[in-house]
Structure 1
Amino acid sequence: MCDEPSFLFEINGSVPSPNVLAPLLIKPEQIQEIRDAFEKAGVVSQDDRRALIESVVLREVASLRELKAVDTRRILQRINGLGSRNPTSIGSAWDNREEDTWIDKL
């Protein structure tokens, strides 16, 4: 076959370590975007903000600057989801139904 040694299967040779990139730190624009989303959602307490962020990233965070850039999207989705959970409604659940029932069609 081939007379050259195969470095792929060489056990005693030095194996170069893979170049693993660390996640990028959060950018100032992303920090401002998170702060704006908190204000829009009405989350003003620092403890509430920290609890929400830590529930998303699953680790303790002392400052927004400790976040990774990839965390931003998930955090913003959670913050924006706060407003859609509790829609303001006036009246009963029957009055606020979205679909017509068989009674409405009579």
Structure 2
Amino acid sequence: MNDLLSIFVEDQPAASSQVAAETVTDSQRQHLRELFAQLNAVTTREQFQIVEEVTAQRLNTVQELLAHNAQLLILQLPARIKSRQKSLTGDAWADRDEDTWIDKL
């Protein structure tokens, strides 16, 4: 019986470190605030929608955001910001994102 208890005791620190690893850090939180501000996503609803689109994690509260999803947002949101800042002409050729082989000649 003592062996069973020692197994559970050993698991407790690992479980608490796993929870700590999933908690969003203050620096991630600050970076996300800045990115959402640049996207002009000021309401919680808008921000939660973006989180779901990028990470597939549906949030009911901010505290539910996982650290690895926060990092994914930090990596993905700058591309959204850049694409929103780009003015579109309505011409598919002029609005393309990448150079074609003709452009590279």
User: In 2, distance between residues paired with 1:93 and 1:57?
Assistant: 29
> Per-residue deviation at 1:70?
2.6
User: In 2, distance between residues paired with 1:53 and 1:91?
Assistant: 28
**Which has the larger share of helix?**
2
Alignment match, 1:42: 40
**TM superposition score normalised by structure 1:** 0.58
Larger-gyration structure (1/2): 1
Distance 1:92 1:61, change over 3 A: same
Whether 1:14 aligns to 2:3 is yes
8 Å CA contact 1:26–1:69 kept in 2: the answer is yes
Alignment match, 2:60: 61
CA RMSD of aligned residues (A): 3.1
User: In 2, distance between residues paired with 1:29 and 1:23?
Assistant: 17
User: In 1, distance between residues paired with 2:72 and 2:92?
Assistant: 31
- The one-letter code sitting in structure 2 at the alignment partner of 1:23 is V
Question: After the TM superposition, which parts of structure 1 deviate over 4 Å for at least 4 consecutive aligned residues?
Answer: none
**TM superposition score normalised by structure 2:** 0.58
1:43-96 Cα deviation digits (max 9, x unpaired): 223211012224425243312x33333322112233223224453234623345
Unaligned runs of 5+ in 1: 1-11
Number of paired residues? 90
